[in-house]
């Protein structure tokens, strides 16, 4: 186990052999609009839930994690960051989860790779986080569509080469695409991540934002103003938001 600081004075205990805290979790947490009740699918050690709860982006979070090892870390992180009153850890399969009331939003950082693609990781936990072993993107979207009420939000960070699968799954689950942002390491790099926001029962009326560029061109990793804002405040610039028709 290793311990890192992920901002706002939050500490995160994470498994050295497992999937580590990265840009995808940081961006997903910042992409979520402020809401009352948020459900996070596949919470891992809890980075997204911790960031959204501590920054007031969600008043209450249900953090769902199926892997026992990651669930134990999730519970430890919630306790040591004094967020027990805001985050409820749940050790279950997201496909079985049915809350007592509709959440305002569901957030997901699903495995990017199909179960039979690529090379499996030596660590079972990392393998499950990368590959669709405990459910694919279709399962994530179907279950989000099942628990969200009309107008409820679905947020997802995914890999651009699998964007067709994500969009098809969202449409099949009644999650109309409303906002999408392509993420690039630098202006000279192709997109490495895509962020999407959908609405339960909403029509596809997508606002494709300008690209999010993380680093200035050149040899050193100098953060762009957009990424520095997200890194320091946990919020996207207003130009990445749209308020009408939402």
CA distances from 173 to 37, 143, 176, 238 (A): 20, 8, 9, 29
- Residue 88 three-state SS: strand
- The residue among 109, 197, 192, 96 whose CA lies nearest residue 157 is 109
Domains parsed from the chain with CATH numbers = 2-176+188-203 (3.40.50.150)
pLDDT above 60: residue 244: no
Mean pLDDT of the chain: 90
Residue 87's pLDDT is: 98
Q: Are 200 and 103 a contacting pair, CB within 8 Å?
A: no
- The residue among 54, 128, 117 whose CA lies nearest residue 94 is 128
CA-derived radius of gyration, the chain? 17
Tell me the average pLDDT across 160-182: 96
Q: Are 120 and 61 a contacting pair, CB within 8 Å?
A: no
pLDDT tens for 184-237 read: 999 999 999 999 999 999 888 899 999 999 999 876 789 999 999 999 999 999
Of the ranges 40-49, 52-61, 85-94, 105-114, which one carries the lowest mean pLDDT score? 105-114
- The pTM of this model reads 0.90
- The residue among 41, 37, 48 whose CA lies nearest residue 14 is 48
pLDDT above 70: residue 12: yes
Give the residues across from 24 on adjacent strands: none
pLDDT tens for 99-139 read: 999 999 999 999 975 555 545 545 554 544 444 455 689 99
Q: How far apart (Å, rounded) are the C-alpha atoms in residues 191 and 185?
A: 7
Main-chain phi, psi angles of 228, to 5 degrees: -65, -40
Of the ranges 7-11, 32-36, 50-54, 173-177, which one carries the lowest mean pLDDT score? 7-11
Q: How far apart (Å, rounded) are the C-alpha atoms in residues 30 and 27?
A: 5
């Amino acid at each position: 186990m290793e311990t890192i600081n992920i901002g706002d004075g939050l500490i995160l205990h994470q498994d050295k052999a497992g999937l580590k805290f990265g840009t995808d979790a940081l961006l997903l947490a910042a992409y979520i609009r402020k809401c009352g009740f948020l459900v996070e699918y596949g919470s891992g050690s809890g980075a997204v839930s911790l960031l959204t709860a501590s920054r007031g982006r969600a008043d209450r979070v249900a953090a769902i994690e199926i892997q026992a090892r990651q669930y134990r870390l999730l519970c430890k992180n919630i306790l040591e960051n004094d967020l027990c009153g805001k985050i409820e850890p749940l050790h279950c399969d997201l496909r079985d989860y049915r809350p007592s009331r509709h959440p305002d939003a569901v957030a997901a950082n699903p495995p990017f790779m199909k179960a039979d693609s690529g090379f499996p990781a030596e660590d079972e936990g990392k393998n499950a986080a990368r590959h669709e072993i405990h459910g694919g993107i279709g399962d994530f979207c179907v279950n989000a569509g099942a628990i969200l009420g009309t107008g409820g939000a679905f947020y997802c960070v995914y890999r651009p080469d699998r964007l067709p699968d994500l969009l098809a799954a969202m449409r099949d689950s009644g999650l109309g695409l409303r906002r999408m942002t392509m993420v690039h390491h630098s202006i000279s790099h192709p997109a490495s991540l895509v962020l999407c926001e959908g609405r339960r029962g909403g029509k596809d009326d997508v606002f494709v934002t300008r690209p999010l560029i993380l680093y200035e061109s050149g040899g050193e990793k100098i953060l762009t103003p957009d990424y520095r804002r997200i890194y320091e405040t946990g919020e996207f610039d207003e130009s990445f938001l749209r308020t009408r028709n939402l």
